[in-house]
Amino acid sequence: MGKEEKRGGPVNTPKQPIIKKNWVAGLVLLAASLLATISSHEGTRYKPYYDSVGVLTVCEGITGKGVIAGKAYTRAECDALIQSRVLIAGQGVLSCVNEPINQNEYEAYTDLAYNIGTGAFCKSSIVTYLNQGNHKEACNRILLYNKAGGKVLPGLVSRRAKENKQCLTPVKKAA
């Protein structure tokens, strides 16, 4: 917890990750296209269920804290959860990537991190190659993350192919 001065003295405030990279300013961290992509990959279920590897899941692939078995979630609750989790995934990507990336790379890596977790993303060979400046190989490494529970899943093969294609697509400059 950080200390912040407020009337009457210091108060505790939660520490927020501060990302000090000047190239980040050009990225849209919660782009509508990113939310739509994740939603299309995950689908939406308002009642919690156990996914293919037995993890309690709801809405658009939300797991962990906030998922309550037996609760029926509303569209508004799912929207709030996905926006929060996508921001967390995006911040996680930016925390371990030191090489400037474009919007398409950011969205592809954030989609992946949302699915596999930011810890796994940051420890991956994707980040190693990316931070060495090898963007193409980093994008191609996305294709390796096609398994759940040790088994190749057709849905993950398809998702990774889409992420890879987006990652390798140059951003078109405005005319």
Query: Does the active-site annotation cover 51?
Result: yes
Written as six digits, the tokens of 106 are 């950011």
Eight-class DSSP state of 55: -
Query: Does the active-site annotation cover 111?
Result: no
- Spatial neighbors of 88 by CB under 8 A, at least 6 apart, are 118
SS3 108: helix
Q: From the candidates 42, 105, 107, 111, which is the catalytic residue?
A: 42
Q: From the candidates 4, 51, 99, 111, which is the catalytic residue?
A: 51
Written as six digits, the tokens of 2 are 């950080």
Eight-class DSSP state of 9: E
Nearest partner of 115 among 166, 39, 49, 54, judged by Cα: 39
Written as six digits, the tokens of 20 are 């000090």
Contact 128, 99 (CB under 8 A): no
- Taking the alpha carbons of 82, 61, 20, 101 in that order, is the dihedral positive or negative? negative
Contact 34, 110 (CB under 8 A): yes
| Active-site residue list | 42, 51
